[in-house]
Every structure is written in structure tokens, then in C-alpha cells.
């Protein structure tokens, strides 16, 4: 794609492995509601907003809940999730991330966060990366969830870069679609057999370099 003018990172599953904490919190809620929730089910919640995730969970359990009950359930899940992420530290940053961020800095390539999570600021502070991002766009500041491109377009805007010169890193199908809809070059992080539509794929950030993007 040529040298990128900016990079936008998804958070959960790209910078940190928080999926396990989301899974534990949703599973506990499912247990309390009286049905089983598996790791395979949890795949459907990746990249999906909190309320949409709850709706999928309730669909799996075959349950109907009122709006106020849903608010209570989502708050209960989030309270436990926040307890789990409140003890995270920099040791949970995924392999290759710090090295790649350093490389971007050396090349003067700014980078932003583009996450669906309302807990993104807390997580970034816990792992010591909050100050390093040139812009943070998260679930608190967007109105349309991925696969809508809003989160990434806002990131490009905040970095004053045209979308076509941005690279997105995403581990979720909805996020890859959002990045492509934004007109960006998308790198899928994970299994290319599971993630469709990205321009390139890596298993972990350890495989990524600026020169790979330049090619
Ligand atoms: C995404 C995660 O980054 O954020 C989803 O992949 C999660 O699993 C979503 O549901 C919303 O997170 P939060 O922290 O606002 O509940
Ligand atoms: Mg993700």
C-alpha cells in the first residue's frame, strides 16, 4: 500500500487479550440465568457492542427480557468485567505490540485506537499505553457500532489523515468490514480461514513491520 500515513488499532484481541475476561463475565451471567454459554458462542460477541452482545447471549439462552432488565444484566456483567480488567498490567500487552508501536514512532507514523469498548480508556491506562496514542475513539464517543465505518473514519479525522492512507488492525469480522467500508487497508489479526475480506493477515503483531506495509 506504500508507507501508511497513520495506523488505527482495534483494542480487544489486537493489543490485549481481553476476550477471556469478557467470556468469564458473560458465562457467569448465563449460569445465573440458567443456561450454558460456550467459548464457541463467545466468538459471536467479538467486536460487538455491550448491548448487542447481551442480545445475542439472551438469544442463545432463548430468553426474552424487558429493556430495564437488560440494563440491569448488562451492568451486572460490566461490573465483573471491570473488576477483572482493573488488575491488568503491561505484562498483558500481546506479543509484538510494543515493538511495532516503537517502530511506528521511529517512522513518525501516528496511531489511534478504534474500539467498540466503553472500557478502552481504563484498559489503556492499566497497560500503560493511554498516553502513547495520538487519538482514542471508543464506545463512549461513537454512535454506530462496527461494521459501520464510523469508529475508523473518526480516527482518521482526528489524525488529519485521509482514510485511504490508513491501516487498520482488526481481529473481528465486524471490524474488518468496518475498516474496508472506511476505505482503509485492513490487516486481519488471527486465522485467515475464519476472518474474511482483509487485505493481509497476521497471526500476531510479531509478524508486522512497517516495511511489510510498504510492499
Ligand atoms: C469490543 C469487544 O472491543 O468491545 C466486545 O470485542 C465487547 O467483545 C465490546 O462487547 C464492548 O465492550 P465494553 O467494554 O464496552 O462492554
Ligand atoms: Mg477486537
Per residue in 144-188, pLDDT tens? 999 999 999 999 999 999 999 999 999 999 999 999 999 999 999
Looking at ligand 1, which residue's alpha carbon is closest to its atom 11?
117
For 6-17+91-214, CATH number?
Answer: 3.40.50.1000
Q: Can you give the residue ranges of every domain in the chain?
A: 6-17+91-214, 19-85
- Give how far the C-alpha of residue 152 lies from the chain's centroid of Cα atoms, to the nearest Å: 11
Neighbour-count burial of 91, counting CB atoms closer than 10 A to its CB (0-12 exposed, 13-18 middle, 19+ buried) = exposed
Pocket residue to mutate for ligand 1, from 10, 71, 117, most atoms within 8 A of Cβ: 117
User: Please, which pLDDT band fits residue 2 given cuts at 50, 70 and 90?
Assistant: confident
For 114, residues 6+ apart whose C-beta sits below 8 A from its C-beta are: 8, 9, 10, 137, 151, 152, 154, 155, 168
For 19-85, CATH number?
Answer: 1.10.150.240
Grid cell digits, residue 49: 457492542
Per the CB < 8 A criterion, the answer to whether 25 and 45 are in contact is no
Q: Which pLDDT value is given to residue 1?
A: 83
Global pTM value: 0.96
Mean pLDDT, the chain, whole residue set: 96
Amino acid at each position: 500500500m506504500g508507507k501508511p500515513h497513520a495506523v488505527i488499532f482495534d483494542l480487544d484481541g489486537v493489543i490485549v487479550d481481553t476476550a477471556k475476561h469478557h467470556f468469564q463475565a458473560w458465562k457467569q451471567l448465563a449460569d445465573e440465568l440458567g443456561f450454558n454459554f460456550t467459548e464457541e458462542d463467545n466468538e459471536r460477541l467479538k467486536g460487538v457492542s455491550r448491548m448487542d452482545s447481551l442480545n445475542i447471549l439472551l438469544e442463545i439462552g432463548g430468553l426474552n427480557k424487558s429493556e430495564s432488565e437488560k440494563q440491569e444484566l448488562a451492568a451486572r456483567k460490566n461490573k465483573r468485567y471491570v473488576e477483572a480488567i482493573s488488575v491488568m498490567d503491561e505484562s498483558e500487552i500481546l506479543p509484538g505490540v510494543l515493538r511495532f508501536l516503537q517502530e511506528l514512532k521511529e517512522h513518525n507514523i501516528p496511531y489511534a485506537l478504534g474500539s467498540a469498548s466503553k472500557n478502552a480508556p481504563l484498559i489503556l491506562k492499566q497497560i500503560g499505553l493511554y498516553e502513547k496514542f495520538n487519538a482514542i475513539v471508543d464506545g463512549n464517543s461513537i454512535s454506530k457500532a462496527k461494521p459501520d465505518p464510523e469508529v475508523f473514519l473518526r480516527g482518521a479525522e482526528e489524525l488529519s489523515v485521509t482514510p485511504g492512507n490508513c491501516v487498520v488492525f482488526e481481529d473481528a469480522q465486524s471490524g474488518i468490514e468496518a475498516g474496508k467500508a472506511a476505505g482503509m487497508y485492513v490487516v486481519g489479526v488471527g486465522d485467515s480461514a475464519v476472518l474474511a475480506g482483509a487485505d493481509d493477515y497476521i497471526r500476531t503483531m510479531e509478524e508486522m513491520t512497517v516495511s511489510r506495509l510498504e510492499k
